[in-house]
Amino acid sequence: MKQQVYINKTSEIYDAIVIGSGISGGWAAKEFCERGHKTLMIERGRVVEHRKDYFGENTPMWQQEHRGRVENILVDQQYNIQKQCYAFGNTTKHFFGNDRDLPYTTKKGTEFSWIRANQLGGKSLLWHRQTYRLGEYDFNANKLDGHGNDWPIRSKDIEKWYSHVEIHAGISGSKENLPNLPDSEFLPPFEMSAPEKDIQTKFAKLYPERPMIMGRTAHLTQPTELHVSQGRVKCQARNECHAGCSFGAYFSTQSSTLPAAAKTGNLHIAPNSVVHSLIYDEVSNRVKGVRVIDNDDLSEREYFAKVVFVCASTIGSTQILMNSVSKKFPNGIANSSGVLGHYLMDHNYNSVASGDVDGFEDEYYSGRRPSGIMIPNFYYKADPKRGFLRGYALGGGAYREMWNDQQHQDGLGVEYKNKLKKAGKWRFNLFAQGEMLPRFENQMRLHPTLKDKWGIPQIEFDVRFSENEKLMMDDATEQSMKMLKAVGLKNVIGQSKNGPPGLAIHELGTARMGRDPKTSVLNGFNQSHDIPNLFVTDGASFCSSAVQNPSLTFMALTARAVDFAVKELAAKRI
Amino acid sequence: MQNDQTSAIGPISVTATPKKSRRIFLKGLSTLFGGAAISSILTGNAIAVAMAYVPNSGDILTDGKIFKKAQLILLKQLCSIVIPNTETLGAAEIDTHGFIDNQLLHCHTQAEQEEMFKLLALINDTAKKSFSALFIELSDEQQFQLLTELDLGKKRFNQTQRQSFKTLKKLICIGYYTSEFGATQELRYESLPGGFKGSIPYEKSDPAWATKGLFY
């Protein structure tokens, strides 16, 4: 990217400031820039250039330091939280936040794992790339059972924006016409293996209400002309995505939205700029800009714009709002409702099941598929007999055991060596991704005394899974085991775990949308009820977690909100 | 979608030795994106490569990083029993013991290191008690017999000791199968698979894939 894109000090008044450069921030910047608006993207971390800064990419295991494991001392001193993320390793560690510099606390008796990715591109470099639309059942869920507030939008409001972002981002998947999971604009799906196809057929007979489909994922299985024109090509199935992908084969800010935004000439980026708070003008009731602390030398500077989009991640965005206090908003800007920081959600991964698949000894696969199979939430219709509210999706897949799955077996010598050389038995597993109810008690707040090195109050989390989530996971384990046994798997095992929230890395809520300004922070266009030129378009705006992976909805909500803001700017209403 | 750029990626999707496939990876990228991006990818990776453990001859001339010379000699022997030299090289031949010495120092806790010290001492102590000799002085049959008992936690060994040996076996396996030899000669490795095929034929004699991706 051209050097002049990056700025440090400026007195320019931009049309739009976008705080954050992850999935939401990247989309906000692209949409504003393409509509001719001078845009400043503010990123708290360093610059990560596409390709150039993917340090760990395409390094075979034996060329990685410690074969991919991270040095003990480094983990102890800097990555004690981040190491809990499955994607943390030697080829990816530079994309994770440094726990030493990013302290937070949890209320006594609670736990929350907060995974951070503070650099240009944010978590778009590290995400798991599963992409699903929310459907009518999801938008109706809160209204139906009274937990949380009613989403102010429905499918018809967001459908065309899903299409808009999907065509640009590139989503692979199969058209299914399911009532509980709307289809996207698809590139071809990844293939299933032979045992997966067999299990799919058996499930279809035994559980017609629980179809098994290929996971939908933001990978270019067959790039369109548009993708190729962006410098993106077909997925090579390395499954080393989190190290960065020079092929641009998965959607990230770097591969997709940033080049599009930069191409317009309307984009500036202020890296190493930690947003301290928003600058509020009480007379006009507008946000004028942002106060920034330099990431490196801790100096202060300000940036100004006509409209501010906060896309700093669910926790990050709400932290900024909470730390922006004034006479009118003593408890955080745009918080006249008092719900800011509340209704924090994550997804629940506390159920796993697996079994052995007989046969298929002459079948194998080639390439490393960066996705798995998925069974959409089959509890999308409420049923009081179930004993818990909402539902879960099941992910999983089949694989043949290799050396690391077989190494714990008894045996030594030639026999052991020959066994580990060969592909072992087929295994098939399922794990649940459960919805978490929006509850007022689950919250984040600013710590009254502790601050980070930039002088910003630390976050204190107070979040727990409730009895509903626990019952749901027990059901998921029971159902998964039943289904696996029903299709003839052997040695079926399952387990409900008790892991705390956070590690799904699907933080949602805390600045929720809603129709009523007394009970919500944002309106149906992600616009603050209180301050017309302030928008929050990331996961903070969610009213419910639904079951689906949320990133695609961040994209669609953001693009839609920019469209609205651009029209409001033109009409001089903001 | 057929066009020059996507077809340029075509030749990459062949099985190749890793060095060759890395060359093709860079060549393919070079065609797509021009030379500047490639040199920077190379630079980036050069850092990782420089820091990776480089196997030496496997001969033990001095103390290791955490193990004494005598412990390393014993460890090397254990490597050669768990994954022996056959028509393909075994774990000892590619310095898996040296890898373990390095890996334990950098990536394991002191408690985990102590556990391995204790395990080595246990193996020698048991050899002395039963045969009045060091483990490495025993016959091949005696060594194999003793380790088999340890592997099963039977006779002279208990279940806790068995678990420690499983931990060591795991280290041997990581060292061996993630080495260049283990991944590419013993098993199958593709740097750039070129795409995913859900079904390919598998013969009983075919080696397994060496990795599932970044998190093997």
Confidence of residue B30 (pLDDT cuts 50, 70, 90): low
* pLDDT value of position B57: 79
C-beta atoms of A366 and B193 within 8 A: yes
Separation in Å, CA of B210 to nearest CA in chain A: 7
Judged by a CB distance cut-off of 8 A, whether residue B193 touches chain A is yes
Cα distance between residue A44 and residue A209, in whole Å:
46
Residue A436, CA distances (Å) to A107, A137, A342 in order: 19, 15, 14
Q: In B29-124, which ranges are E strands?
A: none
Q: Scanning the structure block, which residue is given the tokens 């040996």? A: B165
Quote the percentage of chain B above a pLDDT of 90: 70
The CA-based dihedral angle spanning residues A129, A133, A134, A136, taken in that order and rounded to the nearest 10 degrees:
-170
β partners of residue A457: A451
Sequence-ordered alpha helix ranges (H) in A65-177: 72-78, 136-145, 155-169
Contacts (Cβ under 8 Å, ≥6 apart) of A148: A142, A343, A437, A438, A512, A543, A544
Residue A46, CA distances (Å) to A43, A94, A292 in order: 8, 11, 14
C-beta atoms of A247 and B166 within 8 A: no
Cα distance between residue B54 and residue B19, in whole Å:
16
Q: Is the pLDDT of residue B6 over 90?
A: no
* pLDDT value of position B9: 31
C-beta atoms of A403 and B82 within 8 A: no
* pLDDT value of position B24: 55
User: How would you classify the pairing of strands A392-400 and A373-375?
Assistant: antiparallel
Confidence of residue B52 (pLDDT cuts 50, 70, 90): confident
Of B51, B84, B214, the CB nearest to A89: B214
C-beta atoms of A89 and B215 within 8 A: yes
For the segment B129-148, the average pLDDT, to the nearest whole number, is 97
* pLDDT value of position A347: 98
ipTM (interface predicted TM): 0.94
Residues of B in contact with A416 (CB under 8 A): 82-83
Cα distance between residue B147 and residue B77, in whole Å:
11
> Would residue B58 be called left, alpha or beta, if left means φ above 0 and alpha means ψ between -120 and 50 degrees?
left
* pLDDT value of position B42: 44
Residues of B in contact with A55 (CB under 8 A): 44-45, 47-48
* pLDDT value of position B44: 45
C-beta atoms of A234 and B190 within 8 A: no
* pLDDT value of position B54: 83
Q: Is the pLDDT of residue B40 over 70?
A: no
User: Would you give the DSSP letter of residue A307?
Assistant: E
Give the dihedral sign, CA B4/A130/A431/A444.
positive
Mean pLDDT for chain B overall = 84
Please answer whether residues A112 and A90 qualify as being in contact, where contact means their C-beta atoms are separated by less than 8 angstroms.
no
Higher pLDDT, A259 or B24: A259
Confidence of residue B55 (pLDDT cuts 50, 70, 90): confident
* pLDDT value of position B216: 59
Quote the distance between the C-alpha of residue A539 and its chain's center. 8
Confidence of residue B28 (pLDDT cuts 50, 70, 90): low
Question: CA of A58: which chain B residue's CA is closest?
Answer: B191
Encode pLDDT of B77-99 as tens digits: 999 999 999 999 999 999 999 99
Confidence of residue B32 (pLDDT cuts 50, 70, 90): low
Judged by a CB distance cut-off of 8 A, whether residue B30 touches chain A is no
C-beta atoms of A403 and B210 within 8 A: yes
Choice among A430-434, B54-58, B172-176 with the minimum mean pLDDT: B54-58
C-beta atoms of A72 and B107 within 8 A: yes
Residues 477-536 of A with CB under 8 A from B: none
β partners of residue A171: A186
Separation in Å, CA of A182 to nearest CA in chain B: 25
The CA-based dihedral angle spanning residues A148, A149, A150, A153, taken in that order and rounded to the nearest 10 degrees:
-100
Residue A487, CA distances (Å) to A196, A204, A250, A351 in order: 11, 10, 33, 19
Confidence of residue B50 (pLDDT cuts 50, 70, 90): low
pLDDT tens for the 574 residues of chain A, in order: 555 899 999 999 999 999 999 999 999 999 999 999 999 999 999 999 999 999 899 899 999 999 999 999 999 999 999 999 999 999 999 999 999 999 999 999 999 999 999 999 999 999 999 999 999 999 999 999 999 999 999 999 999 999 999 999 999 999 999 999 999 999 999 999 999 999 999 999 999 999 999 999 999 999 999 999 999 999 999 999 999 999 999 999 999 999 999 999 999 999 999 999 999 999 999 999 999 999 999 999 999 999 999 999 999 999 999 999 999 999 999 999 999 999 999 999 999 999 999 999 999 999 999 999 999 999 999 999 999 999 999 999 999 999 999 999 999 999 999 999 999 999 999 999 999 999 999 999 999 999 999 999 999 999 999 999 999 999 999 999 999 999 999 999 999 999 999 999 999 999 999 999 999 999 999 999 999 999 999 999 999 999 999 999 999 999 999 999 999 999 999 9
Per-residue tokens: A560: 């839609």
In this structure, which amino acid lies at residue A6? Answer: Y
Picking from B192, B119, B124, the residue whose alpha carbon sits closest to that of residue B158 is B119
Judged by a CB distance cut-off of 8 A, whether residue B159 touches chain A is no
Contacts (Cβ under 8 Å, ≥6 apart) of A49: A1, A254
C-beta atoms of A413 and B1 within 8 A: no
Q: Scanning the structure block, which residue is given the tokens 């033109």? A: A570
Residue A165, CA distances (Å) to A26, A65, A161, B28 in order: 12, 38, 6, 29
* pLDDT value of position A320: 98
* Longest CA–CA separation in chain B, Å: 74
C-beta atoms of B198 and A417 within 8 A: no
pTM: 0.93
Q: Is the pLDDT of residue B35 over 80?
A: no
Residue A552, CA distances (Å) to A87, A185, A196, A233, A461 in order: 20, 12, 26, 21, 26
Judged by a CB distance cut-off of 8 A, whether residue A359 touches chain B is no
